[in-house]
Structure 1
Amino acid sequence: MKTKPILIITVTVVVLAIGGYFLLKGKSASSPKQEDITQFLKSFNQQLIKGNRDSLLSYFPDKQNSEPINRLITALLNKTEDPETSFKLELNVDQSTISFTNPELAVAVVPVTFSGDHLSNRLSSLTFAIEKEENNRYKIYQVDGTSFMTDYIAYKSSAWQKNYSDKEIYSPVTLKAFADANNLKTKYDSIIWFSHIKAQTYFYVVKGKWDFSEQFQQEKDTAKTYKMGLVSPDYKEIIPAEYDLVYTIGGTFPNLVEVEKDHKRGFYDLSGKVVLPVEYDQIFPLNDAENVAAIRKGDDYFWLKSDYTVSEKADIHVKDIFGKLKQPASFTLKQSPVGGITEFNSREQHGAIYIPPSYLDDLNLICGIKQFKNPLRNHVYFEESSSQYIVKAKALPVNSSATSSDNWIQSAYYSIRDYFIGGRSEFYDSNNMVLIDNKNNKLYGYRIDTDINTEEGGGEFSGRCNEFNINVLSDSLLEVKVTSVGSIELYNNTYLNELPVFHLLKIQNGKVEETRNTKRVFAFTKFRKMDNHFIDGCYVCYKMIDGRYEMTSSGAISPEVLRYMKNEIYADYNYRFKDKRWTEMFEQQFYGHYKSENLSVQDSLTEIDKYNIQWIDQKLKGLPAIKPNVLAAK
């Protein structure tokens, strides 16, 4: 184990992959003052100028000497042994913007300037969330390093590249594509990518305002500020610049290009002919000789024949086509699977781009865009690129006639591991569920959050627990139970690291949505009357022993977890515990959303809360006795 009871797998680009804040836990105290925050930032900057790493770490909460913080500080110190690749990094503390999001939290946006010989200056920023501790000392409890680390990596790459000629960095085909793209600027606002296919280069062109960083972070219903098209090697527009997205050439079918506009999909060929009108909601390519795809328009399905003609409306059931999808149930990608290389029209962004077929994005098996190492570029950084992208089917649907109302939903469950090159740590894990809705004849993808940490980073599964179960509650409501990782501190100083977590999902309006959000780890205690199925399962706990976190239990739920579960109900209503240990625990776990202020919460407890408290009490009676001073509060 590393410095926490979980394996930290955060990124050099501190939260760049997930955006926003990484969270550092701590206790709130008296309100900070603006002049004190300014002085705190100046002091931090002085230690940065002096290069005192240990002193800089002291500005963060105790025991937070973790990987992302160390990497952030490494970037801020900006040390290099090669003077030829050096540049200056300055925090402009005097120009900081300081605001107060609540009486206990100050947010400071600090401008950052990058400068170097033979390089243009670049502006960026860091956002610190700062709180005042009980000893009147300030600490940095949150950092948003998204834009800073993006700019830092780009500038570092520019400083590195200045020591090499264009011919040493870029292949001849890339240099020619740069020149050709420049010639197209008179007709388009941006030439964003170029794709090399069989010794020919095609250009992705844009009319309007293009921002790559926002392209795949937007909600799919967000109005686009651009339109995209495709230009041939001889500068002819083969796909007009009127689409929301032009996919990887040949990504779905050889020599065809999938396009999307207003959530409708279709195909062009490389001569500019419309092969499939852009009017279909979903396209599911199949491993089938006669029918290469099943295509959906509204509630109707059609076959796309091998000659790319469309059949009459057909009686197609999604449960039958799921097992025939072109992409196998498990797969590994190390590069674009269709051949050819698509590059950024950029001297700062270097990855090889792969935009997967729309159905893989719909099912959340590959979301948005992937970048892999680009073999056409040398002496550059590939910070955002993957070395391996692995999808494993952990549970596939059982064959069934699906004729009864009890069998209207089937599911497949996948683990996804993404290995990154360079600055990111080894890998990122995520989990995905595909739902086969036999009643509505639809397929849905839903990304399951199996990391419930409130800290920065994420956790790696030990492999001891591997639970996945779906329970149908009504004709639209599903209960999903899945093993998740966390770092939940229990009263006896152990950490609950793996546990079954229940998600309540609702299918409506063609979407899958999670319902009934709550800050409780054990959310079911708020909405459902408990029975044994809520606590049956696999739990893994760790404890600090001789300076190392070691597993103390694995298997059935322990009394300590039940005590936490019970007191979490009280904490949800800001109960003032008689034992300060509980107060400290929930101040950390409910960071910013718990105040120890109510002497009694009996009037706030719902009937479900009261039932579950009594139910847990009965369970505790049947388990080993606990010491009086750690009894759950009442």
Structure 2
Amino acid sequence: MLFQKMVYLGCMKTKPILIIAVSVIVLAIGGYFLLRRKNVSSPKQNEISQFLSNFKTQLAKGHRDSLLNYFGDKQKTEPINRLLNALLNKPEKGEYVDIVFNVDLDIAKGNISFINPELATAVIPVTFRGDRLESKFSTITFTIQKIAEHQYKIYQVDARDFMTDYISYKNNAVKLQYTDKEIYSPSTLKAFTDASNLYAKYDSVIWFGHVKDQTYFYVVKGKWELFDALNDYFRPKKDTAKTYKMGLVGPDYKEVIPAEYDLVHNINGIFPNLIEVEKEHKRGFYDIEGKIVVPVEYDQIFPLNDSENLAALKKGDDMFWLKNDYTISEKADINVADIFPKLKQPASFTLTKSPTGDITEFNSRDDHGSIYLPASYLVDLDILPQVVQFKNPLRNHVDFEESSTQYMVKAQSLPAQSSGNGDNWLQSAFYSIRDYFIGGRAEFYTKQNLVLVDKKHNSIYSQRFDIDYSEIGEAEDLSGSCNEYTFRTLTDSLFELKATAVAGIPTYDDKSELREMPVYHYLTLKDGKLIELRTSRLFAFTKHIKMDQSYLEGCYSYLVDDGAHHWNEKLSDKLTPDILRYMKNEIYADYKYKFKDKRWNEIFYARYGEGKEGQNISVQDSLTEIDKYNIQWIDQKLKAMPVIQPKVLAAK
């Protein structure tokens, strides 16, 4: 289990991670690092340069075991091996191809800067060179920690640009060793040729849909801008003016769907021979012959596992049935709470390829993924992203870094919630979502998602949450030791979700860390949407709720130093006094309080980040009544005094 391999460090010991994704995906690397040494002098630039030069020497010699030592206790996790394979320029497991280019790190031209008295970053230029390839330039960023006098370790690696450029260059090198027929399937090669016949009428042919030995062409008029390169999920820019319109052309070059839409989904994506389309937030269906089956005028479409109806259609506040014969009923009395359990995918499921059974691929010789565009209702509920990409079985010998190997959704129903008059008006479901990747990406990432079914307003809402609120974020996965999910209504407009997450809170003495705990989220309904009330506090209840004992109870996973610089897990149902002090001082830190104690300034500097460190000598005038109450309440717990103290001061 990954939990057993992870690195655990407290504040000022930012989680050592390997970042190797195109998007911001991070993964903790295995092994155990030494604890922060408070008496070690600051790292020196010349020593760091020499450390990296020695690392490069070992790369040239191909000494993998020696290289692993640079990362700590011989890192053996898959992400590190993947990175070293790229730096050593060795084939991945199962590859039978000679890599005919060089990877060169230019240590002398590296840019070294210092994060704090123990950590420094080195941005190193990288050059890819091949005999029959044009040279390509990239960078890789190492964070270096000084662990003793004249001793350093690689603490984390940001290889996002490097791995993206490496895989691209490697694919180009592979193409020199194989013919097109060995890389691309006959249907793909034919589609490349056929697409050229459509450019007289359309500006772009972006995808090929291969269905029952026939190929359909996703065409675009205008400037194609569906994908935002900075967005992990490649979500369409729904709320900005489109510069394109999308359509679908059949194998006979005749238009099946006119190029008038914002998005055309996979053929057979929900129902056989039907294609969902979207335009200006409205949804509908065409059939494979080009006939409009459901007019593109509905806000939401909920496909059902139901003997009488294919789907429920929502337009404004009105609901309709889509019958099995594709007719649409008159306005019907449909309760979303009744149809939610009948949704085609309301519960747990796993995807390893597009569920349509067909293959949609890029009209590109360089982008090699297979594209799945989920039904719009799954995107609305944040259960699936707008686009999922899987390995493309029509292409051989090439990788595509964005491809998933497995997309897992686990659902957990939560009890119905009552309003003030006792009616059960909110039903909630909680989802844990994990995506696994191939190529240069991190092994996986995990998200959490809450879906609310509102009987009172006959609506469904969703909100997605991270699982990692540590200093780096998205670096670690849950261990499974704690698994708390509760949801409750505080008022008709304020809701509270309690969910286990990674916290990474250090103790004052830096000898233990609260790794996992229940994190509270506060949500409200606004303009027909479920909105989280954001706060930078990990203990969000101190901002919104007057505390009671229940907020100190739960499942807590602590990491404790065993005295030999190893971290062991310890479970508890209580918070320690050190964490209570953190909880209290976090309220002050939220208002940029400058602590008199240097250690607290260090802790919250690391938590809040550069530019948000303490600046204010006093924040008494900023504290709310809830803040003051909670500070005093925590004081009472810390001092074990029955009377709330009148003074409100930062904990020492």
| Residues in 2 aligned to 1:339 and 1:419: alpha-carbon distance in whole angstroms | 20
* Structure 1 residue corresponding to 2:204, chosen from 174, 190, 208: 190
| Residues in 2 aligned to 1:196 and 1:577: alpha-carbon distance in whole angstroms | 63
**Paired residue type of 1:79:** N
For residue 600 of structure 2, give the secondary structure of its aligned residue in structure 1: helix
Q: CA RMSD in A?
A: 4.4
Deviation at 1:504, TM superposition (A): 1.2
* Structure 2 residue corresponding to 1:410, chosen from 427, 444, 447: 427
Deviation at 1:158, TM superposition (A): 1.8
| Residues in 2 aligned to 1:71 and 1:570: alpha-carbon distance in whole angstroms | 43
Aligned 1:39-50 pairs, distance under 5 A: none
Deviations 1:72-111 (A, max 9, x none): 964874533799423345679999999999xxx9999988
Tell me if 1:478 matches 2:492: no
Deviation at 1:143, TM superposition (A): 7.7
Aligned length: 612
For residue 538 of structure 1, give the secondary structure of its aligned residue in structure 2: strand
User: What is aligned with 1:523?
Assistant: 540
For residue 554 of structure 2, give the secondary structure of its aligned residue in structure 1: coil
* Structure 1 residue corresponding to 2:219, chosen from 205, 215, 219: 205
| Residues in 1 aligned to 2:517 and 2:604: alpha-carbon distance in whole angstroms | 18
Please tell me whether the aligned partners of residues 15 and 21 of structure 1 are also in contact (alpha carbons under 8 angstroms): no
**Paired residue type of 2:178:** Y
* Structure 1 residue corresponding to 2:526, chosen from 508, 515, 522: 508
Please tell me whether the aligned partners of residues 430 and 448 of structure 1 are also in contact (alpha carbons under 8 angstroms): yes
* Structure 2 residue corresponding to 1:252, chosen from 249, 261, 270: 270
User: What is aligned with 1:5?
Assistant: 8
User: What is aligned with 1:271?
Assistant: 289
For residue 319 of structure 1, give the secondary structure of its aligned residue in structure 2: helix
| Residues in 2 aligned to 1:284 and 1:10: alpha-carbon distance in whole angstroms | 43
Deviation at 1:329, TM superposition (A): 1.1
Tell me if 1:348 matches 2:348: no
For residue 583 of structure 2, give the secondary structure of its aligned residue in structure 1: helix
Deviation at 1:47, TM superposition (A): 7.0
| Residues in 1 aligned to 2:18 and 2:582: alpha-carbon distance in whole angstroms | 34
Aligned 1:517-596 pairs, distance under 5 A: 517-518=535-536, 520-545=537-562, 546-595=564-613
**Paired residue type of 2:623:** L
**Paired residue type of 1:267:** F
Tell me if 1:423 matches 2:469: no
Residue range with higher mean Cα deviation, 273-282 or 502-511: 502-511
Please tell me whether the aligned partners of residues 459 and 486 of structure 1 are also in contact (alpha carbons under 8 angstroms): no
| Residues in 2 aligned to 1:282 and 1:64: alpha-carbon distance in whole angstroms | 52
Deviations 1:255-292 (A, max 9, x none): 00000111111111111111111111100001112211
| Residues in 1 aligned to 2:362 and 2:311: alpha-carbon distance in whole angstroms | 30
Deviation at 1:595, TM superposition (A): 3.6
User: What is aligned with 2:345?
Assistant: 327
User: What is aligned with 1:18?
Assistant: 24
Structure 1 residues 95 and 490: alpha-carbon distance in aligned structure 2, compared to 1, 3 A threshold: closer
Structure 1 residues 243 and 489: alpha-carbon distance in aligned structure 2, compared to 1, 3 A threshold: same
Please tell me whether the aligned partners of residues 9 and 457 of structure 1 are also in contact (alpha carbons under 8 angstroms): no
- Point out where structure 1 has 5 or more consecutive residues left out of the alignment: 28-35, 624-630
Please tell me whether the aligned partners of residues 570 and 601 of structure 1 are also in contact (alpha carbons under 8 angstroms): yes
* Structure 1 residue corresponding to 2:454, chosen from 422, 431, 437: 437
Tell me if 1:153 matches 2:167: yes
Deviations 1:331-366 (A, max 9, x none): 111111121111122222222211111111111111
Deviations 1:125-152 (A, max 9, x none): 66899999xx9xx999998754543232
User: What is aligned with 1:33?
Assistant: none
Aligned 1:395-406 pairs, distance under 5 A: 395-396=413-414, 406=423
Deviation at 1:297, TM superposition (A): 0.8
User: What is aligned with 1:490?
Assistant: 507
For residue 187 of structure 1, give the secondary structure of its aligned residue in structure 2: coil
* Structure 2 residue corresponding to 1:336, chosen from 340, 345, 354: 354
| Residues in 1 aligned to 2:180 and 2:601: alpha-carbon distance in whole angstroms | 60
Deviation at 1:236, TM superposition (A): 1.0
Residue range with higher mean Cα deviation, 380-389 or 574-583: 574-583
For residue 241 of structure 1, give the secondary structure of its aligned residue in structure 2: strand
**Paired residue type of 2:541:** F
User: What is aligned with 1:628?
Assistant: none
Please tell me whether the aligned partners of residues 16 and 156 of structure 2 are also in contact (alpha carbons under 8 angstroms): no
**Paired residue type of 2:460:** L
Tell me if 1:299 matches 2:299: no
The TM-score, its normalising length taken from structure 2, stands at 0.81
For residue 547 of structure 2, give the secondary structure of its aligned residue in structure 1: coil
For residue 164 of structure 2, give the secondary structure of its aligned residue in structure 1: helix
Please tell me whether the aligned partners of residues 394 and 414 of structure 1 are also in contact (alpha carbons under 8 angstroms): yes
- Point out where structure 2 has 5 or more consecutive residues left out of the alignment: 29-35, 38-43, 642-648
Deviation at 1:443, TM superposition (A): 0.9
